[in-house]
Amino acid sequence: MPTASCCNSSNGPAPAEGPKQTKVVIRKTYRGALEGTGVAEVLTAQAAAGAGYVASERVDATLDGRKGTFVIQHGGLADGEDQSTFGTAVPHSGTADLAGLSGRATEASHGVLTLAYTFGEPS
C-alpha cells in the first residue's frame, strides 16, 4: 500500500462562482510488488457536490525485480457518492529495466494503487 504526503499546494484566488481549483505536489512511497517512490503533480477541482483531479506521476521503483522509472497519468471524478478513477502508464516512458512497460493504473480505494501491466519491446 502506498503512503503519501502532500508537500506543496497552491490555490489561486477563490472564484466568485464555480469550483475551487488547486495545484498540489504529492510524494508517495510504494510497498509491495511495486517498491519505491512517486512524485505526482496534481490539479484538482472542488465543486459543491462533485470533484475531480488529474495527475502526472513519475515513479522511481522496482517492479517485480525490475528497477527503473516510468510515468503514470491518472485522474478521478466524484459525483456525490459515485466515484471513478482512471490511469495509464505513459507509452515508452519506462527506463532501465522498466523499458517497454505499458499498463493501466487505478486507485479503487484511497491509497491503494492497482497496476495491471505488461512488458513489450523497449523503444
Per-residue pLDDT at 2:
46
Per-residue pLDDT at 52:
95
Task: Report which of residues 11 and 106 the model is more confident about.
Answer: 106
**Interval 42-101: pLDDT, tens:** 999 999 899 999 999 999 999 999 999 999 999 999 998 898 989 999 999 999 999 999
Per-residue pLDDT at 55:
94
3-state helix, strand, coil in the chain (%, to 5): 0, 70, 30
